[in-house]
Amino acid sequence: MADTKAPFNRWAVVIGAFLIQLCLGAIYSWSVFTKDLTAPIVEGGKYGFTATEAAWIFSAGLATFAVVMVAAGRLQKSLGPRPISMAGGLVLGTGYILGGFLGNTFMMQFLLIGIVGGAGIGLAYVVPIAVGIKWFPDKKGMITGLAVAGFGFGATLWVKMASSWFGGLLNTMSLFDLPGVQSVFIIYGATFLMVVSLGSLVMVNPPEGYKPEGWEPPAATEAKATGAVDMTSGQMLKTPQFIMLWTMFFLSATAGLMVIYCISLFGIDALQASGAYPDVEAAAGVAATAMALYAILNGLGRIAWGAVSDKIGRKMALTAMCLMQGVIMLGFYHIGGSYWGLIVGACIIGFNFGGNFALFPAATADFFGNKNVGVNYGWVFLSYGVAGIAGPQIAGYFKDAAAGQVEAWLTPFMIAGIGCLLAAGISLALKKPKD
């Protein structure tokens, strides 16, 4: 007989997950550093990176995050979730602290912030999702959204801390006579170490056979998957549903990650070119606001799309989300030259992008079962790592090639928008995998 007695209130897992994800979401604040990193040396800049180099640091973090997550899914299954989550916090924090002390060159930031920091995120990220789904099989969409909402909200926290709160750490902080960017890395790294460790304390799986009181698993139908059949990774990888979900996630994530990388650069270019904000500092302030609101709506989108998908089904939610994202991406270049156009566009894109991180893990559990979701979602999530290279690199390439012309942004946004519309079409063809 299944043991349904829980050792503690399952909502404690949600609180711990939020704290962990709050720190992991710092990678989405990368755009706040790009202005300082790409400022030319001859104009007083400290680093003189190209837009492409700045994009590669961000891309390295995302790609490493996704690759390490596959291994983390296997490790948390054998070693338990808590030690893997704590290891993630240790690696992430150490990468940022060392990046602060040693990150005065592109290669050192690429290795320490990108590779080491990304590995820390990959270790810790899957744990709250896998643990949350096991504790809440009755609310997979909503709980996945809540578990990863901190990732989106965290970006807002770290952006505002760096750019404006208390004068902005980038402007006011100089630890060990280091520039603002490196000083902020040290502060953030120490914070990540402490907060991820705290959140990891409740990262434990429920007893074997656990079911919430009064809940019974629903029966699967031909059209709707409900997680009734558990598949191993080897079985999952042979299904067309895996290929479809992987492709959809890649196309949708490419759009969101492209905008996360370039929202500051695009906002400044578009607002100056339109004449709405001729002064670069004023334009940068509006772009920072758009960046922060993007992150807030990213977090809200994770909760909202997850809850909506529990009501209307994962397939319809994925279709609607990708369709909306495609439409706004196709129009973002044209509306981004005004204050409200940039703000509203960023909010819609952030809201839809956040939905990916509630819908795709929940869909993975629906199609391939709850038992191996930590490992299986790692394979689906590899698409995010590829998108982390594609989105920022496409934007960085056109930005560098256009030599400061605002028209540089039209082509990458069109590529991303068409990709999202294609993802919506793929979603309509999703069906339950054969047993």
Number of domains, the chain = 1
Helix boundaries (H) for 80-179:
81-102, 106-109, 117-135, 140-163, 169-172
Q: Residues 61-85: what's their mean pLDDT?
A: 86
DSSP secondary structure string, 103-122? -SSHHHHIIIIIIIHHHHHH
Q: Are 188 and 158 in contact (CB under 8 A)?
A: yes
Average pLDDT of the residues of the chain = 85
- Going 163 to 53 to 109 to 128, the CA torsion angle's sign is positive
Q: What whole-number distance in Å separates Cα of residue 238 and Cα of residue 219?
A: 23
Residue 405 lies in a domain: yes
What is the distance of C-alpha 286 from the center of its chain? Answer: 22
Q: In which element (H, E) is residue 273 found?
A: helix 240-274
Instruction: Estimate the crossing angle of helix 280-312 against helix 31-38, to 10 degrees.
Output: 150
Supply 246's token pair: 């992987």
Report how far residue 90's alpha carbon sits from residue 192's, in angstroms, rounded to the nearest whole number: 8
Q: Is the pLDDT of residue 251 over 50?
A: yes
| pLDDT digits 0-9 by tens, 144-189 | 777 777 877 777 788 888 877 777 788 777 788 888 888 999 999 9
Q: pLDDT for 283-303, tens place per residue?
A: 888 888 888 888 888 888 888
- With 70 as the cut, is the pLDDT of residue 356 above it? yes
Model confidence band, residue 214 (pLDDT cutoffs 50, 70, 90) = low
CATH number of the domain enclosing 41 = 1.20.1250.20
pLDDT in tens, 99-117: 999 988 999 999 999 999 9
* Structure confidence at residue 403 (pLDDT): 64
pLDDT recorded at residue 332: 93
Among 155-169, 382-396, 411-425, which is the least confidently predicted range? 155-169
**Residue 367 near residue 315 (C-beta atoms within 8 A):** no
Report how many helices (DSSP H) and strands (DSSP E) the chain contains, helices first.
Answer: 16, 0
Q: Please state the rounded mean pLDDT for residues 380-404.
A: 82
Q: Amino acid identity of 313?
A: G
Residue 312 or residue 4, greater confidence: 312
**Residue 54 above 50 pLDDT?**
yes
**pLDDT higher than threshold 90 for residue 229:** no
User: 3 lies in a domain?
Assistant: no
Whole-angstrom distance, CA of residue 112 vs CA of residue 91: 10
Instruction: Decide: helix, strand or coil at residue 13.
Output: helix
Q: Is 91 exposed, middle or buried (0-12, 13-18, 19+ CB in 10 A)?
A: buried
With respect to residue 245, please indicate whether it lies within any of the assigned structural domains.
Answer: yes
DSSP string, 296-333: HHHHHHHHHHHHHHHHH-HHHHHHHHHHHHHHHHHHHH
Residue 6 lies in a domain: no
CA distance 297 to 253: 15
Q: Cα separation of 167 and 194, whole Å?
A: 24
Give domain status of residue 83, yes or no: yes
Interatomic CA distance for residues 122 and 110, integer angstroms: 16
Give the pTM.
0.74
pLDDT at 226 over 60: no
Among 33, 51, 48, 44, which Cα is nearest to 405's? Answer: 51
Would you report the helix, strand and coil content of the chain in percent, each value rounded to 5?
A: 80, 0, 20
Q: Is residue 148 part of a domain?
A: yes
pLDDT in tens, 304-323: 898 888 888 889 999 999 99
Determine contact, residues 149/131, Cβ cutoff 8 Å. no
Range with the poorest average pLDDT among 212-221, 282-291, 295-304, 368-377: 212-221
Asked whether residue 1 is assigned to any structural domain, the reply reads no
Q: Residue 223 pLDDT more than 50?
A: no
Q: Which pLDDT band holds residue 219 (cuts at 50, 70, 90)?
A: low
pLDDT at 1: 39
Q: Residue 289: what pLDDT? A: 86
pLDDT recorded at residue 2 = 44
CA dist 23 and 18 (Å) reads 9
Q: How far apart are CA 258 and CA 82, in angstroms?
A: 32
**In a domain? residue 364:** yes
Residue 381 has pLDDT above 80, yes or no: yes
Structural domain span for residue 279: 11-428
CB atoms within 10 A of CB 79: 11
Residue 210 has pLDDT above 80, yes or no: no
Token output for 183: 């000083």
Average pLDDT of the residues in 239-244 = 92
pLDDT band at 281 (very low <50, low <70, confident <90, very high): confident
In angstroms, the CA 358 to CA 376 distance is 15
Residue 6 pLDDT exceeds 70: no
Task: Return the C-alpha torsion angle 313, 318, 319, 320, nearest 10.
Answer: 90
